[in-house]
Structure 1
């Protein structure tokens, strides 16, 4: 146990913890993670729990878990509680990797959605330390929509109390009080295998339940406020030097060539071959991405135990708002547990944006050493696709030195389009996009423009002038259409825009113009001594398989 370690070992960890939390100098400056803390912590864990090493990405979860334990006890003591609130600052202000912070910081928001951000000098200093400048009287919801992302979350965390960073400089009473509060509980966590197991498996979650054969998670499971990554089920992790005498799937936590096999699903952009595969990624509509799924039989190499019917399956939402989770399942009929899962999370720049995930056919391959095997089975069906070493037969011998993994590609699609209009009096050279002065008897020429600004094809686009007020008369036979098919020359149509007009299919970036005429009716009755405004909202509409939009215009009838 930790208490049996030498005082020198404990002091080494304590010094490393201080450097990890506060940095070597003033915490107002960005700090790097302290590598000495990781190595010292690994030494303690090896001595106390027989864990041979601890990957760097597990350091922050252990610190965070100890913080949670300290908060539960310290909440009864106002002085202790204040010191622990300062620790929230420290976990937020360090220059840590975003992909590590996202799962760790979930649920730590100190404000409710409608609460004001606050504009006192202490809070603003912490926001700006994270690169966020709030507006006066701005709400938390507004700030998140405007700035978004982990850096904003860090700034929000850092405003939980008005603690002064100066009071936490090296050797200060504030720093000593914080360490004296936190260190005893941190030692208890290190000494407890149960506590460490909780800290290292905090990101487990239950897989989404879907109908058999369905490839799409229910819409409710992609709410941006709920989406997070993780792996499961909670299972015994083993060292690469002490593998079990049974078939186990992706259970080695220190694979020399891969790392922690429980994190077996990752993603990166296809066109950025230098990018790392990560568990959390901000994605861009129209861009292709490649997912990597590591699979291995963790049985002892000399056991001779191979998997039976080893398969990989993928589950992803058809559409998602803000962020979405892609979950991969790895299973074998003779493994314990028989199925394991891991996920990666993709997010859009805006929490309210909506996009679709499109799997790219013929993009799935199994990689084993220098061998490349095309996966022809559907990864998204209920039983997934067979994997293997030398053939896709479901047979995996105990994991060899060669890495074995599956890759597949998908694209992020975001359907969108615009509709605009402009007007002029017939014979005039000047177009107006907003309003036009007219008199009874004037003929008005209108041009409506539709453009596909999304990343998906929109089929059977329909333009229409739904309703004109009594003051205006649609000119029958005046409708003409121009697009790439007509070399952008206006062509007469057989239909009028006062009824639905199907103008065809349009790829991303493509569009169409429609021109028609209408006349201001003679004898329009105007109010005495004033002009009459006709707000046409909408003047024209476009209907697509992704929704309907309208274009507005205003006519000013001059006396």
Structure 2
């Protein structure tokens, strides 16, 4: 009786692997089915299996010998996400070897732009700065943001879109990384279907800073009829994004363009002072010497040095023992009342006096009078506090009672 023959066959298929990061192209390594029981035959079978698996894996990674021949044979596989913030890892192309299928921002040698993966950039338009990936914010400056998009494939995209977001409030940066402002470009039939990039915003001002969109600045820039079209900012900064296109916002993208918008670095800031003088004198001081029983005029100054309006600004003062408010002596001087306005309120020493609303660079002065009493050399210090929606600040002034031993 003849011995059973030995056969080994490889079943399955090794499909091409998309190293760029999509979910297509998982490796299905060959399954080896053995016939025969002899040890020698088993060794041979294992050798054939290893050969088959190695061959399958090689073809899967290299793409050679695959039935799925395509235009990307000359395309390279990108490195890990760079410091410029682009993501995900994906196949890249050159101007001389573009794909047939839709792919967004994949060319690394665009003669007009450079590496398209780095498609989000920012510049300080107040100081005339250059486009960059990381910027240190200056209070009150305006920053233009550009989101570049391009379909590098021969076929048009379907439902191409762009969207963006950014942090509204930025605490002072505690390290060198800063805050990230993201943008996304995608299409339903692109490979991959979405790409992203970001720029870094660094706050070194010592206080919280807010980002505000400049009204009417979000627009499309293309080579078609849609050039200059204002985009819906609710969509652009929303979860769905805004449709892209060359001649209309129809999601059909066959070329390139940019979404441009401007943000303002806002920061509330204000300064306060508390000064005094003997009634009738001209010079204001932080510390004055007076006789017991003298009338002292107090000046509280407020300056809105920030970039946001401050509403319902309130002054109040804590007077020490020996310093008494003169009733009906309070008045305010500001832009609406350059000659001063007498106030009927005497609540400066209680709940405070509301002196109104102030735009950036606006200011106000609040005046009132006190009478001082005390032993020689006594120091009477008042503490004035200004309350705003953005915080409070206090300032002191001292009246010293005159004496020979002081």
Quick one: distance in 2 between partners of 1:391 and 1:476? 69
Counterpart of 2:295 in structure 1 is 443
Q: 1:452 to 1:351 in 2, by over 3 A?
A: closer
Quick one: distance in 1 between partners of 2:321 and 2:91? 76
Higher relative contact order (CA 8 A, sep 6+): 2
Quick one: distance in 1 between partners of 2:266 and 2:169? 9
Counterpart of 1:250 in structure 2 is 105
Quick one: distance in 2 between partners of 1:373 and 1:330? 18
Quick one: distance in 1 between partners of 2:134 and 2:387? 35
State which of 159, 163, 167 in structure 2 corresponds to 1:309.
159
Counterpart of 1:543 in structure 2 is 387
State which of 86, 92, 95 in structure 2 corresponds to 1:240.
95
Q: How does 1:462-481 map to 2 (within 5 A)?
A: 462-465=314-317, 467-481=318-332
After superposition, the CA RMSD in angstroms is 2.2
Q: 1:490 to 1:236 in 2, by over 3 A?
A: same
C-alpha contact (below 8 Å) 1:249/1:295 kept by paired residues: yes
Shift of 1:506: 0.8
State which of 339, 358, 367 in structure 1 corresponds to 2:212.
358
Shift of 1:284: 2.2
1:390 aligns with 2:240: no
Which segment is superposed worse, 288-297 or 352-361? 352-361
1:201 aligns with 2:80: yes
1:518 aligns with 2:364: no
Q: 1:430 to 1:404 in 2, by over 3 A?
A: closer
C-alpha contact (below 8 Å) 1:540/1:550 kept by paired residues: yes
State which of 190, 194, 201 in structure 2 corresponds to 1:335.
190
C-alpha contact (below 8 Å) 1:362/1:376 kept by paired residues: no
Unaligned runs of 5+ in 1: 1-195, 205-228
C-alpha contact (below 8 Å) 2:277/2:296 kept by paired residues: yes
Counterpart of 2:308 in structure 1 is 456
Quick one: distance in 1 between partners of 2:233 and 2:133? 25
1:414 aligns with 2:267: yes
Shift of 1:197: 6.9
Is the partner of 2:311 in helix, strand or coil? strand
Is the partner of 1:284 in helix, strand or coil? coil
Counterpart of 2:202 in structure 1 is 347
Shift of 1:243: 2.6
Unaligned runs of 5+ in 2: 1-75
C-alpha contact (below 8 Å) 1:377/1:386 kept by paired residues: no
Is the partner of 1:203 in helix, strand or coil? coil
State which of 142, 164, 170 in structure 2 corresponds to 1:288.
142
More strand, by proportion? 2
Deviations for 1:146-168, whole angstroms, at most 9, x for unmatched residues?
xxxxxxxxxxxxxxxxxxxxxxx
Quick one: distance in 1 between partners of 2:324 and 2:398? 15
After the TM superposition, which segments of 4 or more aligned residues of structure 1 sit over 4 Å from their partners? none
Quick one: distance in 2 between partners of 1:343 and 1:514? 47
C-alpha contact (below 8 Å) 2:77/2:91 kept by paired residues: no
State which of 153, 165, 169 in structure 2 corresponds to 1:319.
169
Quick one: distance in 2 between partners of 1:477 and 1:351? 41
1:533 aligns with 2:379: yes
1:558 aligns with 2:374: no
C-alpha contact (below 8 Å) 1:249/1:296 kept by paired residues: yes
TM-score in terms of structure 1 length: 0.54
Shift of 1:449: 0.5
Shift of 1:250: 1.0
Shift of 1:309: 1.8
Quick one: distance in 2 between partners of 1:351 and 1:242? 47
C-alpha contact (below 8 Å) 2:323/2:380 kept by paired residues: no
